[in-house]
Chain A
Amino acid sequence: MADAAITVEEARKTYGGSGAKNGRPALDGLDLTVARGTVHAVLGPNGAGKTTLVRILATLLRPDAGRIEVAGHDVVREAYAVRLRIGLLGQHAALDEELGGRQNLELFGRLHHLGARRARARADELLERFELSATGRKPVKQYSGGMRRRLDLAASLITEPEVLFLDEPTTGLDPRGRAEVWGSVRSLVGGGTTVLLTTQYLEEADQLADRISVVDAGRVIADGTADELKAATGGDRIDVVLRDAGHLGAAVALLPVPQDVVTVDTDRRLLSAPVTDRMATLAGVVRALEDAGIEAEDIALRRPTLDEVFLHLTGPDDRVKEAA
């Protein structure tokens, strides 16, 4: 793809060399294409290979095999050219904890060879933009989690990178910190930056990303927009909440779908099932429950959540047939 900001073909990586513990590859032939100016989420459980992928893309780690290009440059052969064009927000704050916020940004600006005056000006600009001007002199170790993350993000934006990598940017943040980071990412994309974001939070992918790649065991197992992924899991779903959990078993048999696709959540007295004909199913379920004398507290039609997509793709859904 000519207008791809990131191209990954058949990427492979196994850690450890001689000291390899289990020899299981972290990346096992991963393919990925990210179009310029878009936000792409890489979604997957712990150990799926998300961080390995980001570290390879950010030139921190050498792949064993594969063609990997960022902003049109090979990450191994043209690492320097790649480094000129990327920003990285890793899982751990990549800051000097002893130095102040302004000192950190100036340091990184100088290392980007902005020169003393421009580095200082850029630091002030970024502090203002991320609302950190007031605390610019305080050492970073006194910052709150959200502030530290914002400064870290500012540090990865010193040169307005073409491609920005965010490795689980909101892990460990409270909801307010998370919202702050999300706001910053949204405003960045408005400026034309390509963002690759890894996350375990489905909501985060849903909120921010144009496209999502679901990764498991070092491979992409599904790829598409949030809507496409939801549709692939079976389209709409019907949720029925009963007044009495004791009727769940009987109610499963009444639904006009095969019993093995019904999800039962005993604690919430909830039945959930994929549907094809929305209105007919809704009417049928209401009538069947009434005829059987089972009282429903709530009946709703909805799109599947990304959680369901994720569970559907990455492994067996333990809740299926639990009470049936």
Chain B
Amino acid sequence: MTSYILRRLVLGAVVLWLVSVVTFFLIHLAPGGPSSAVSFERTAEEREALLKQFGLDEPVVVRYGKWLLSAVQGDLGVSYNQGLPVALLLKQRLPNTLTLGLAALVTATVLGILLGTVAAVNRNGWLDHVVSTITTLGMSIPGFWLGIVAIILFAVELRWLPASGIVSSGKAGDLVDRLKHLAMPAGVLAFTLMPNVVRVTRSALLEVSRADFVRTARGKGLAPGTVLFKHAFKNALVPVLAVLGLVTTALFSGSVVIESVFGWPGLGRLAIEAANGRDYPVILGATLLAGLVVVVVNLLVDLLYAAVDPRIRHE
């Protein structure tokens, strides 16, 4: 087990290094440059001075070498457009994305498993159709559109929730105010992630319910509820776990859009702003951090398989 984890960690480090290589050279291949230097008003002289300050007058391979050398020492460089250390920006933004992501993940998981179970139990009944309509909507409506509609409904018309931001000024410690800000982005994000959980839960439960051991349990005369929760459910959990791993990584890409719509100061918005402004060190830092999360989550999910299903062993 320990050697398995070690092997996965080493593999993870290699993956991250590859991510850094691909990202670094891709972003430098893209046309444009740091928005402070590549702007409409900037004259050639001003632009050259700025690019030199950023070290962009050096060849790209040299730049990568320098970046890697300081990155392995924990220094991710300084943002071109914000003038702040990348590590500080990531540290400021990560908790916000985690809050949003966790709220959405928990909502999507709880509701998804619940609805999936309801659908499976009432297979082909009207409740199943209602659930399948909801999941189809969640899968096909783009998050940004849903976000805008939610803002119009809940912020402009009903005035229940704030349209944007993470907290009102002067209310930094006000939990209710923070929850109000969180409700819409987390809700919309959860709505777009939930369908995967619903569908996998439903099909896994249906598959398990046809298995011999479930039939045996029913044959023994156990109550349907006991069969569902004690026998079927536990065995249906492995595919659900797998999809949760996928959903967690989808959270990161989903939050990029949602954070921009709701002005949520998280990693996603930081990455978008960095990409628009060609803030290379920030793009790299944010991509690597997202990569790290994916690597770690995948490892945790694999380890959880073994915990849930004793037949799975990691050697």
On whether the two chains bind one another, the answer is no
Interfacial residues, chain A to chain B (CB-CB below 8 A):
none
Interfacial residues, chain B to chain A (CB-CB below 8 A):
none
